[in-house]
Structure 1
């Protein structure tokens, strides 16, 4: 991946995946790929996340694996060392931005307001994560942000579902949406990879 926009162009939905067991990483990624999804964000919310990223990067090379929930500078470095191809933050600090930029990986920094988006644009970042999307006003808010900031492209995440995803994808300033609904935690716990593949097929068919 050369740029964040390359990541957003891969699929209409970027699965946000929380893995409690590293051994679920490869079969879950394979199921998503079989369903037409070409990128995955593994969140650094569990102790197994970095191991999971490494397994996917090594054994499922046809899906682009990124690391999410980058909230500390060391997260960026650890994710890059594990094999992540891109980084995603829920919000930003100067220290996190500097560390993420130092990795050379495409970055989707989180913003929830016009001011936050403008500050990121000042630093040359024009592809952002809108988070938490639904709690921050939803598709209507993101459409309004597009008025004064038409050059920015977003991946809204947070409260996105199969039902409301089309409202976001219809916006000109949305490249893709991020969501957890493709890999529900109970489905992962049950190792029901067939369901994950089915959900991925539905998601990859969404229009944008």
Structure 2
């Protein structure tokens, strides 16, 4: 079994250290990608998770990587090795999955784009742990036990840290970040659909800035 390198772990740790809040971005219209991401960065967000929940995700990663070099730009909702290869070619600087398979964990060990694997159970965590992963996305956080679950993980796995995502909002983000084994929190409250649809980019900047100030 191949083992995760220090290089990959260092890169993932750098991503999680760059911003305590990671917006979960689903691009519904291609022309929104750049102004939306620029609005988030203007509000102080330094990590952008562009999901593959829509057909525009891969192209948006290419576009944002070139246009906003000061941000970490990665891919979320990656569910297959084919998608992993696509986003790697598009220039993704990290990859986040909602769950894990042994094949994806193994691919991530040698990928150019380091992997933050998604887990919701101890068994999935142990699968990733065997490959050398120590940083995980905890998803869907709220329905998988939330803060009590993450606290419980720290007993048998004191060297593991998390980026919980799923059901977290601006009011609860700080409570998650108060845990020693949480390095960042992901959420979609930073990208409200109505503001994006109306092109209210200043509102998104204000939400990002205020959300960071709450922490």
The alignment's C-alpha RMSD in Å is 1.3
Asked whether 1:182 is paired with 2:185, we answer: no
Q: Answer yes or no: is the 8 Å Cα contact 2:22–2:187 preserved in 1.
A: yes
Say which of 75, 78, 83 aligns to 2:86: 78
The total of aligned residue pairs comes to: 207
The aligned counterpart of 2:45 is 37
1:5 maps to 2:50:
no
CA distance in 2, matches of 1:117, 1:99: 16
Structure 2 CA distance, aligned partners of 1:122 and 1:96? 13
Partner of 1:87: 95
TM-score by length of 2: 0.92
For residue 57 of structure 2, the aligned residue among 49, 55, 67 is 49
What is the alpha-carbon distance in structure 2 between the residues aligned to residue 92 and residue 112 of structure 1? Answer: 10
Counterpart for residue 127 of structure 1? 135
- Residue matched to 2:157: 149
In the aligned structure 2, how far is the partner of 1:100 from the partner of 1:25?
A: 26
Partner secondary structure for residue 170 of structure 2 = coil
Contact in 2 for aligned 1:155/1:175 (Cα 8 Å)? yes
Listed as ranges, the gaps of 5+ residues in structure 1 are none
| 8 Å Cα contact 2:102-2:127 kept in structure 1 | no
Separation in structure 1 between the aligned mates of residue 171 and residue 91 of structure 2, nearest angstrom: 33
Contact preservation (8 Å) 1:126, 1:152: yes
Which residue of the partner structure matches residue 5 of structure 2? none
Deviation digits for residues 23-42 of structure 1, max 9, x if unmatched? 11111111111111001101
Residues 65 and 84 in structure 1, CA contact (< 8 A), matched pair in contact too: yes
Q: Deviations over 1:56-111 (max 9, x none)?
A: 00111111110000101111100011111100001011222233333222211011
Q: What are the residue-to-residue correspondences of 1:81-120 with 2, within 5 Å? A: 81-120=89-128
| Shift of residue 123, structure 1, vs aligned partner | 0.6
Is the CA contact (8 Å cut-off) linking 1:73 and 1:100 kept in structure 2? Answer: no
Q: Displacement of 1:206 after TM fit?
A: 4.1
Contact 1:18/1:185 (<8 A) preserved: no
Does the residue aligned with 2:82 lie in a helix, a strand or coil? helix
